[in-house]
Structure 1
Amino acid sequence: MLFSVSQRFFFDAAHTLRRAIDTESSLRIHGHTYHAEVVVTGARDGSTGMVIDLGLLRRELVAVREALDHHLLDEVPDLGTPTLENLCVYIAARLAHLQPPVSRVRVWREALGDACSLELTR
């Protein structure tokens, strides 16, 4: 049996974005509240009954959140262009060491209705 365990967090951040539509407003520094969900999929450990200790997952997410929260995303090392897609990749990369591995990362902006999901297969 495989189980999926998830944990959510949010962060507030600013960014700029070069794009073909809404160019003027996107080029100005502006901010959003972002929400993220990380999913870990695996079998239960026979001795603990857990896929992953949620305390461990929360601790790892605190570090990811601190790297993004109240920052200018344009300046976050290894993020690249601050798109929802790149935020998913960035979060997954920061958690690549987890066992079992992250199986899905979702980032969304509730106020705008935008969302992106990254499905990881290992």
Structure 2
Amino acid sequence: MKLVLPLFLLSTTALFAQPTVPGSWTISGDVQGYAISEVCTFTQTADKIGGSCVSNGKTYDTTVTIDGSKVIFVHGGEYEGKPLTLTYTGTYNDKGELNGDIDVKPLGYDGTFTATKTETATKTDTK
């Protein structure tokens, strides 16, 4: 019986573990009626996470900061030829998604988003 409790704690900890940030994410959201749809790919080198997000056919370098359960990623953009900075601040939900707010500078607009990690298909060798 002494072994059952530690195993139970380990298994429930694994169930509630947060997904890792590196990988591919699909972002959907809304900023004051304007639909947001992006695909972001994050990589980790040592203790730094970065990557890029693709929006409307353009790729933007992205920085990522993790603060406890909060994930913040920032990248450039443009609207009507004017440069923007989009800041996404999200936390994990029980589905392993990131949900949160979008801040658009210098316009001062805000919105919400959901980010879902994209599973990469594994190729199996049939030889």
Q: TM-score over 0.5 for the alignment?
A: no
TM-score of the pair, normalised by structure 1? 0.31
Higher relative strand content? 2
TM-score of the pair, normalised by structure 2? 0.31
Bigger radius of gyration among the two: 2
Higher relative helix content? 1
